[in-house]
Structure 1
């Protein structure tokens, strides 16, 4: 990994560690901690009231994503789900609800502070069918063909090696498995320099792939039936998007 990539990854780690610490230090209180993000393009406002109902206030407050991947992944009873960059655990807890006691939801994060918060949130929820793993999304610590669905919420754009993320995602999925990802994607007309003008790397903007780059990356990893659907604007020419794709059975 280059020095620049190492620095970018450390900047991302520090940013999310600080977010976890802010939520933890505020505590639940009578009304729960305040969200760590105020921008309506990101965070807990992208979840319905019914989804937030019953979740620990700390899990809701720590939500930093740009979408709601559990709403588009069409999770089914008994499935095994992996959340890349699981943060405070909101999408893992929602996934665990959907797959039920016969299924399982994994959360993968590289930040100790977020992992500690997620484990605490799972304990507060009383959810048993979850497991949080420490690691990088470029080197997923699970065997091949382990999970049915991979989700992620505005995290892949933060990776310094997105081709590795796509390859690892493909590896851990079972044949016929699928991805349902929310991520920031740039219009094809924007150059990397223009993307950087619209926001920092750690703010999920500068590192975003274009629509064409995202599709090409997934297809190069072996995915088929790639769909990338923009949902709302997060900056000029930058969109939160729902990304779906399938690992072929053969």
Structure 2
């Protein structure tokens, strides 16, 4: 399994490339993005998004802002905010008396997010540089934590959930979209960096997600599957593997193994009052 620094570097490289593609449409389209990735496509109504560029750069697996039941005046933190789409949508929902924060470790994504915020003309959004394992915010800073297909990428999910619990106010809500495993997959597939940055082999079993939330101090944890993926979609995602097929495996064998093994889900929990 990749080491934490290796995983961070791989994720940062992949998402920096996608950000550069959005910042400069003439750049080499190295990554799929919304146009081709079955995991990311069709998650938002185009007329509801505050920035076309933010929508194009979205690499999520759900729409947490539509499920988090945000209220005016709340403060929200998006873990791994990328081009800022969910931050900007959250800023609209919480209104001028609330603030939406985005945290990302990739400089290019932060540059894109600042540009998208300016394009959308939204004032109550802020973007911070840092990792989701070490959030640069004080205890009890926000009412809601959201995230979109990012926590599965972390090599230290216990740290992520502990930090999420720390920065939430008493009674605060954890409401994220993520990829979950519905059954275990072989270690050989978890070691493929391309699958880590593609949101599959870094994912937790749904039951383990609940266990880790409980260990972090959350109450009422739950996982709701929102989308499963058929074999045709797995074939479309096969470029994630690239030339990293493990010895003794074939691409067809990997697809057979992943068929029915993972899903997009909405994960909820609360911090006790």
TM-score by length of 2: 0.83
Query: In structure 2, how many angstroms separate the alpha carbons of the residues matched to 1:226 and 1:170?
Result: 12
Match of 1:129 in 2: 124
Give the length in aligned residue pairs.
Answer: 239
- Are the counterparts in 2 of residues 85 and 155 from structure 1 also a CA contact under 8 Å? yes
Deviation at 1:189, TM superposition (A): 4.5
Query: In structure 2, how many angstroms separate the alpha carbons of the residues matched to 1:149 and 1:35?
Result: 26
Instruction: Quickly say closer, same or farther: Cα 1:178–1:121, change in 2 above 3 A.
Output: same
1:7 and 2:6 correspond: yes
Match of 2:245 in 1: none
Match of 1:47 in 2: 44
Match of 1:75 in 2: 70
SS of 2:215's partner is helix
Match of 1:21 in 2: 20
Query: In structure 2, how many angstroms separate the alpha carbons of the residues matched to 1:195 and 1:132?
Result: 31
Query: In structure 2, how many angstroms separate the alpha carbons of the residues matched to 1:26 and 1:116?
Result: 15
Instruction: State which of 212, 215, 225 in structure 1 corresponds to 2:210.
Output: 215
SS of 1:174's partner is strand
Query: In structure 1, how many angstroms separate the alpha carbons of the residues matched to 2:262 and 2:144?
Result: 26
Match of 1:30 in 2: none
Instruction: State which of 153, 161, 171 in structure 2 corresponds to 1:158.
Output: 153
Root mean square deviation of aligned Cα: 2.0
SS of 1:46's partner is coil
Query: In structure 1, how many angstroms separate the alpha carbons of the residues matched to 2:152 and 2:187?
Result: 13
Compare CA radii of gyration and give the structure with the larger one: 2
Instruction: Quickly say closer, same or farther: Cα 1:226–1:126, change in 2 above 3 A.
Output: same
Instruction: Quickly say closer, same or farther: Cα 1:232–1:3, change in 2 above 3 A.
Output: closer
- Are the counterparts in 2 of residues 23 and 36 from structure 1 also a CA contact under 8 Å? no
SS of 1:241's partner is strand
